[in-house]
């Protein structure tokens, strides 16, 4: 090898060492912030799911009330629309309770055991 090639190789090795050190410093500084963001995102996304579930529950109650009023005015259970409204209301209640339970679970997990949230997030990242 000539002198110029040795110089270029040594410069490349020095650059890789310097860059590797700065990347390690950056990762060390950013890791706690990233973990905090993951845990807070899990908590607030669970809160949002609970809000959506509460909205579905409210809509379900309004639909059920409207169906009862329709039947109360006519005193006739042969009309099909109130029956479909009751079924729709029941399905909305199922979705609402599912959303509320799932969101509450995410919120509780983020508050009670943030390490589990971080470990699960890292597992999800490693699967990709």
| Domain membership flag for residue 89 | yes
| Torsional class of 75: left (φ above 0), alpha (ψ -120 to 50), beta (otherwise) | left
Is 112's pLDDT higher than 90? yes
How far is residue 85 CA from its own chain's centroid? Answer: 31
Query: Concatenated DSSP letters for 73-113?
Result: HHT-TT-HHHHHHHHHHHHHHHHHHHHHHHHHHHHHHHHH-
- The pLDDT value given to residue 3: 76
Q: Which domain holds residue 57?
A: 31-127
Domain count, the chain: 1
| Domain membership flag for residue 123 | yes
| Per-residue pLDDT tens digits for 33-89 | 888 999 999 999 999 999 999 999 999 999 999 988 888 776 666 678 888 999 999
pTM: 0.72
Instruction: Using alpha carbons, list the distances in angstroms from residue 127 to 45, 56, 66, 121.
Output: 22, 33, 48, 10
Confidence of residue 26 (pLDDT cuts 50, 70, 90): confident
| Domain membership flag for residue 17 | no
């Amino acid at each position: 090898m000539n002198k110029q090639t040795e110089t270029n190789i040594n410069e490349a090795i020095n650059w890789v060492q310097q860059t590797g050190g700065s990347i390690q410093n950056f990762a060390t500084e950013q890791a706690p912030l990233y973990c905090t963001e993951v845990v807070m995102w899990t908590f607030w996304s669970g809160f949002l799911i609970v809000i959506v579930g509460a909205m579905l529950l409210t809509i379900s109650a309004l639909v059920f009330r409207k169906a009862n009023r329709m039947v109360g005015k006519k005193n006739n259970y042969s009309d099909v629309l109130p029956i479909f409204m009751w079924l729709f209301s029941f399905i909305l209640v199922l979705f609402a309770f599912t959303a509320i339970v799932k969101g509450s679970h995410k919120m509780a997990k983020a508050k009670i055991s943030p390490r589990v949230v971080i470990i699960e997030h890292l597992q999800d990242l490693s699967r990709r």
